[in-house]
Amino acid sequence: MSIITGYSTHDIRFPTSLSGDGTDAMNTDCNYSAAYVILNTTPNADSNAAASDTLKGFGMTFTIGKGNDIVIEAIKQLSDKLVGMPIESLFSDMGAMWELLTSDSQLRWIGPEKGVIHLATGAVANAVWDMYARSRNKPLWKLIVDMTPEEIVKCSSLKYLSDALTPEEAVQMLHERQSTKTEREKRALQEGLRAYSTSVGWMGYTTDKVQRLTKEALDLGFNHFKLKVGVSVDDDLARAKVIRDIIDDPQYQNKDKRVHAKTIEGKNAGPTGNVLMIDANQVWDVEEAIAYVKKLEQCKPWFIEEPTMPDDVLGHARIRKGLKDIGIGVATGEHCANRVLFKQLLQAGAIDVLQIDACRLAGVNECLAVMLLAAKFGVPVCPHAGGVGLCEYVVHLSMIDFISIAPTFDRNVVEWVDHLHEHFKYPVSVNSHGRYNAPLDKSCGYSIEMHQESIEKYTYPDGSYWKYEHPTIISKLQEGRRYV
């Protein structure tokens, strides 16, 4: 039987701040980064199993540059806990594996279950899940949809959730979806999963660029588009008008009847059924959010994303109530620290759309718990993606959600950004209808393995890109540091 013998970590940063990609009202200079871990195994002495000789687990968490090294330090301390563990004993109780990572009484203090230590837990837990799926020759999503309801619930992080969802209720919910599971799996493989494009409307983009990208996205089959707002009402209205003028043009009629019929409330639908969403990235106080978004009513967005501080459950509930009249919903989640905050957002009726993040939540275990909660409360899960690696991750989560968990999938739509996929060995892709293709490669695991050349080139600060191709940037980034 193979054990985990050690690990390596890699601080990988891409210079995305140079292009203005990923720019919004809060995040003005993102270098999309991966705090990346590889778990190594070898068969132990008494094993004859040649197949597991080279089994590895790949995991990462996403950051936007500085601080990636801090997360890596946390990844090391969590990975230490796995060294020496027989992999099959981890796989046999993935819930216990998650407990092992999150219950260290000393490390828990610097969370608990939030921020750096939780982001790091996401990377490490996902690496174990990746290894588990590879060991079974299945993509991660398939590993999980093939589990029994009891098995899925056993590896979901349900601690602190029982006032909203008990394990028994969760099992019951999953059982109700069992008989139609195969049919949904078939459909997902045929059709893919509906995606939306964030690439059209970053804050740093000119209206010309927004116009060009929106048309391109429509031609690629997308019918949901997101625009960053929150710095200036006039500028927001101007860029929104560019998008609306195009997506409301009858030549771009949305042919996806389900979307047209169900995801949009009457007056915000627009004539073609194409959908606009807006995203403020937390810039407002609560009442300020309501007042500002009311000024954007004519943009007819489906929802306002991250109107205020992500921890503010009651604030989101207040904003949702304040915008109900004008038919604009509330979405949040990419900065939602853990399942307990999601539980409250659902209990308080604070959100119309739940946007989980595959690594801000502590890996697959906690994502399962949150998808189960969302199903209980009837709120669609539309994962946060983009950055680097997030699209690769979340397609697996949405496959699981669609096939095994969600009561309906009419409103669910997965964020898509066409950046940096070339660095992954099993890059995710969208089809000609603007829908995510299901990952099918039996060796893909959780799809997060990067090419060795990419790791080497973009390792910070010693990779060839940062050391040789970009000396100016690196010296600028380092000049502030005067550690004595």
Q: How far apart are CA 214 and CA 218, in angstroms?
A: 6
Q: Does 36 bind its own copies (CB under 8 A)?
A: no
Buried b (16+ CB within 10 A) or exposed e, 237-262: bebbebbbebbbeeebebebeebbee
Pairing of strands 193-201, 435-436: antiparallel
Q: Tally Cβ neighbours within 10 Å of residue 380.
A: 22
Site for its own copies in 304-333 (CB under 8 A): 308-315, 318
Near its own copies by CB under 8 A, which window of 64-72, 168-176, 267-275, 466-474? Answer: 64-72
Distance of closest approach, residue 94 Cβ to its own copies, in angstroms = 21
Distance of closest approach, residue 11 Cβ to its own copies, in angstroms = 12
Near its own copies by CB under 8 A, which window of 139-147, 217-225, 341-349, 409-417? Answer: 341-349
Q: Which residue has the tokens 């871990």?
A: 37
Q: Does 6 bind its own copies (CB under 8 A)?
A: yes
277: Cα within 13 Å, side-chain hemisphere: 29
Give the residue, chosen from 42, 347, 429, 431, that forms a contact with its own copies under the rule CB under 8 A.
Answer: 347
> Between 80 and 441, whose beta carbon lies closer to its own copies?
80
**Catalytic annotation present for 228:** yes
**Catalytic annotation present for 224:** no
Q: How far apart are CA 172 and CA 71, in angstroms?
A: 37
Give the residue, chosen from 52, 344, 429, 437, that forms a contact with its own copies under the rule CB under 8 A.
Answer: 344
Site for its own copies in 194-253 (CB under 8 A): none
Near its own copies by CB under 8 A, which window of 91-99, 192-200, 285-293, 376-384? Answer: 285-293
Among candidate residues 240, 230, 350, the one with its CA nearest the CA of residue 283: 230
Distance of closest approach, residue 253 Cβ to its own copies, in angstroms = 39
Give the residue, chosen from 214, 282, 404, 447, that forms a contact with its own copies under the rule CB under 8 A.
Answer: 282
Q: Which residue has the tokens 């429509």?
A: 218
391: Cα within 13 Å, side-chain hemisphere: 28
Q: How far apart are CA 204 and CA 345, in angstroms?
A: 31
Among candidate residues 7, 152, 128, the one with its CA nearest the CA of residue 446: 128
Give the residue, chosen from 150, 288, 441, 462, that forms a contact with its own copies under the rule CB under 8 A.
Answer: 288
Near its own copies by CB under 8 A, which window of 62-70, 147-155, 438-446, 465-473? Answer: 62-70
> Between 5 and 148, whose beta carbon lies closer to its own copies?
5
Catalytic residue among 226, 228, 376, 457: 228
Q: How far apart are CA 327 and CA 307, in angstroms?
A: 15
Q: How far apart are CA 288 and CA 326, in angstroms?
A: 16
Give the residue, chosen from 46, 251, 432, 481, that forms a contact with its own copies under the rule CB under 8 A.
Answer: 481
Q: Does 65 bind its own copies (CB under 8 A)?
A: yes
> Between 389 and 434, whose beta carbon lies closer to its own copies?
389
Q: Does 399 bind its own copies (CB under 8 A)?
A: no
Q: Does 54 bind its own copies (CB under 8 A)?
A: no
Q: Does 473 bind its own copies (CB under 8 A)?
A: no
Site for its own copies in 258-277 (CB under 8 A): none
- Contacts for 444 with CB less than 8 Å, ≥ 6 apart: 133, 139, 140, 425, 426
Record the tokens describing residue 307, joined without a space.
């109107």
Q: Does 28 bind its own copies (CB under 8 A)?
A: yes
Distance of closest approach, residue 292 Cβ to its own copies, in angstroms = 13
Distance of closest approach, residue 349 Cβ to its own copies, in angstroms = 11
Per-position DSSP letters for 212-265, written without gaps between them: HHHHHHHHTT--EEEEE--S-HHHHHHHHHHHHHHHTSGGG----HHIIIIIS-
Among candidate residues 393, 422, 425, 399, the one with its CA nearest the CA of residue 412: 399
Q: Does 361 bind its own copies (CB under 8 A)?
A: no
Pairing of strands 303-305, 414-416: unpaired
Site for its own copies in 141-180 (CB under 8 A): 159-163
> Residue count at the site for its own copies (CB under 8 A)?
77
Site for its own copies in 70-129 (CB under 8 A): 70-71, 73-74, 76-77, 80-81, 83-84, 104-119
- Contacts for 255 with CB less than 8 Å, ≥ 6 apart: none
Catalytic residue among 384, 396, 419, 423: 384
> Between 9 and 135, whose beta carbon lies closer to its own copies?
9
Name the residues annotated as catalytic: 228, 384
